[in-house]
Structure 1
Amino acid sequence: MLKVLIVDDEPSNIQGLVRYINWTELGYDKPKTKESGEEALEALLETAFDVLISDVSMPVMNGIELVAKAKSMHPHIQVLMISGYNEFEFVQEAIHVGAQAYVLKPLKLEEVSGKLTAFRVTLEKMRQVVEQTNELEKKVSGSLKLIRERFVNDLIAEVAQTDEMLSSWNSLMELPEIKQGFQIILFGVDHFLSSGKDAKERMILGSGFKQTVEVGLSDVESIFLAQTNPDEFVALHLNPTPEERVRVEKQLPFIQNMVRERYGSTVTVGCGRMGSRWDEVPLFYKELKFMMAKARLISDGQIVRYDYMDSNEFKDYRLREEFMPNILKLMETGDSAKVGEYMNRIFELLLTLEPTSFSYAQAFGMSFLSELIRNLKGQEDSDGEMNILMWRRMLDCGNPGQILELLVDYVNRYMLIEKKAHMNQQHNLIRKIAVFIEDRLQENWTVKQLAEQFNLNASYLSVLFKREMGKTISEFVQEIRIRRARKLLQDPNIKVYEVAEQVGIQTSAYFTYLFKKLVGCTPQEYRDYRYSAEE
């Protein structure tokens, strides 16, 4: 049974809930009750309650403060706020600090029961998630096949294999030390999605392909298998002996023949070069994908080997399909240091790690520059004076380092121009929105409504506003309201509740709460003491 704590400074409200809600039927124990936030905090320290029901307006510690502290103590506690019709701003604040729902006075028992039922369902789902996660952890710890597959997938996805990470893998399996190296073998069903097969046929083909690869390589213990897609399998062969390599070679045509005979589909196989470090796996995998894609242009169902790959062609392919899109994405972040670091890694990878002539390095630099000019926005003419100057400077370079420096300089200058233009545009937009808010302070615009007004995504507007103004839209509105309220309070002819109305705050209670939160005293105290003292 779930545990509930009800907090309200009016005992009649508490008794009504305790007496007239069928707690047992809803899956709850008889509620514990407290009449103040301070008493409730003591109870929360002693007991892990599942649900907290609290009034919003209470003396000393109000419902908002109680919810914030309760959530910090018990993050998963479900909170139902009780509010009067004129306290909606309090409820908004409570939801902001973690309340899940609210009901308005006078209370409707069926509405409260509905909220409690929803809470029970949520708590039950949370419990199921925890149980299933624990069960999955047990299965993962006990399944060597699953652990190996996850390890290979992590390698391909370029998850950094630090000493700490490798140690964690060793705790799950005996990870062999790479002594004789490793080889990647990639199996791919040809035309899996465009073969004309319907959904059921593709499911059968995918399952049959998986079973065939697993059976075909099952007698080689040093192979880690991972299915990366329904139509693709990766075999990571660790420390292969000559005898094992011969056995594996014999199984490659066996796997191809079985899939062709049973499912009418061909399988292309790629055999990679030998490696000696885990961080080489992603590159070798990409090489195999490139080799197999080229082989399929000629015919399906081949066995292709790294020995026949044109490494320069592969580098050009990576530049066009991998490196350039990544550079453009990094440039959009505006972080020139990261762009420069990434470009340096590219040049190190493609020009330094393998022996290459300077003429190739220069030709690669030309290709790099050409791709940059083609992809960057704002390039009106690739034969313009700026670009001609860049081509000439490229020809004048005497070593790969100068080529890299020239390209980084080109990118940095472009980013600087773009950043200035973009920042000016954002600055003007946010200032325009800030003025719009100030002019309509009494209208209570939501972030969503503001975003729609200015044709923006609400989340993007929130991030942009915080970055430009140093505060959230809600904080900005509150500060503007209180700043205007301080000026109005200087006029003794305007009552406090009238000041609240004029700055767009619906109730005196919330106005007092917010004013004290931001200024440190109540509006009346400010009028009586602080205002005269500030003068």
Structure 2
Amino acid sequence: MGATQEKYKVLLVDDEPIILRSLKVAIPWEELGLAIVGEARNGEAALQLIEETAPQIIISDIRMPVIDGIALMKEVLPRSSKLIFIFISGYGEFEYAREALRQGAFDYLLKPIDHDELTEMLTRAIARLKRQKENEQLMLSVQTLSMLARERMYAEFTLGNPRPLQHLKWLENSELEGEYFMAVVRLDQYASLTAQWSVEEKRLWLFAVRNILEEWSLENGVLSVFPFYNGEWILLFPGSLSSVRTELGEQLTAGIKRYSKLECSVGISRITQGIDQLSTVYPLACKALYQRFYSGQAGVFLDEETAAGGSREVKYPKELELALIESIRTVDLERMLSLFDEMSAFIEAQGLPQELAERLIIEMIVVLYRQFEHLNMHTDWSLEGLLSRLHGLGTLSAMIAALKMEFREWMLESNKSATREDGRSVVEKSMRYIEANYHKDLSIEEVAEVADLSISHFCTLFKQISGYTFLEFATHCRMEKAKYILQNSNVKVYQVAPLVGYQDPRYFTQVFKKATGKTPTEYREENSRQAN
């Protein structure tokens, strides 16, 4: 008989015996590969049991006497960061439950407990634990570093910035040497959603969607998944899955709707090959997404090699689009309005029928709107509202006039609200934030959120003004603090690492030596000799 797979351990915490009893009998623990290793009636008893049994999953009432659920989690998570907490909450405790999510809970469910919902949560928790186990095995390997670098490299190529990346040459023989296709996942009505959400809610929602996408990607053979713009993610699939593109897209949209209650649409490109084609297929996947505005509802839209019936090929005015983007970036209203006149002249000179003219205008509008969004220049403008108004107009001149009026308002409103800090002060604020939080597990998403910029715009602006990349500056802060600690205290080297944001002392030593030319021990010895 082969070795059976080790079960994940679960601890139940609730001061109501009836709930503990129902949980034990209603959930198919054995079938899920879980084992209940203890029950506690309060937070104090739970702390003791956690020490004794080392569970991986804790299902706890959120409200308990003495030590409540959140206090229990805050006590335990710093020591066991991979512990999964699922909270049981009453209907009147939504704010409390949301705070639990903010503090690191996996999920929560409301009383009376829906056992199917809990079973589904546990299935997702198990998937996370399995992923964590795999990640632990990779954590110190080159493969993990390559994954992080690959995500950044893919984003650069998708933006059309094929930088030499000499230090990442070893990544170029990637899975993209073979055939692949791209899916662009975009939340519907993103602008109106962000108008409703607080900064914290926005962070939580985007984090939740990314988690859903990553878990789904692991199970469906996705080569890579990464956020591109706020509210938009890119997934890269092997070409072998091309025949089921629509089904994959439908599974994606259904999964996001099921777990987050948010609607999204997916644009899927044709098959291509080679990493340098990322910037070519991204516009194609986005172009497929434009069909969302014709369909009137969320869905999956494919970029096809040829249109049905061999319809007329239209030359897209790329230079005009780039000039319009530049006019938005430089907030040049007069230039923008004159370029819309040039667009009208271009369409007229091509002699396009109304349907093709409208499609070209809509493609251009969506690109320009994304530029406003990318630069955080919009507030609660409605792209969908503008597109539906244009669709009802019968002539080219009426469409261009409506377009100029709408974009003029957007530009003026952006200019008016440009009491926002200029680029330099935004970067300085970001640098102060990094300096204050370098010892934490800082992500670029978190700092871009503080700067109120999209990730790609933040990266460009930060490098341009500070001269550092985000990672370079965070590392610089960590090394300066490490040197100070080594010089002015007797803290052991392995204890310095977590104080400056590194959980692995060996990795800290490697980074320190690369930055200073010396190991932490050598640095301390040399500086103490100088002091003497």
Same-fold status (TM-score > 0.5): no
User: Could you say which structure has the larger radius of gyration?
Assistant: 1
Q: What is the TM-score with the length of structure 2 in the denominator?
A: 0.31
TM-score, scaled relative to structure 1: 0.31
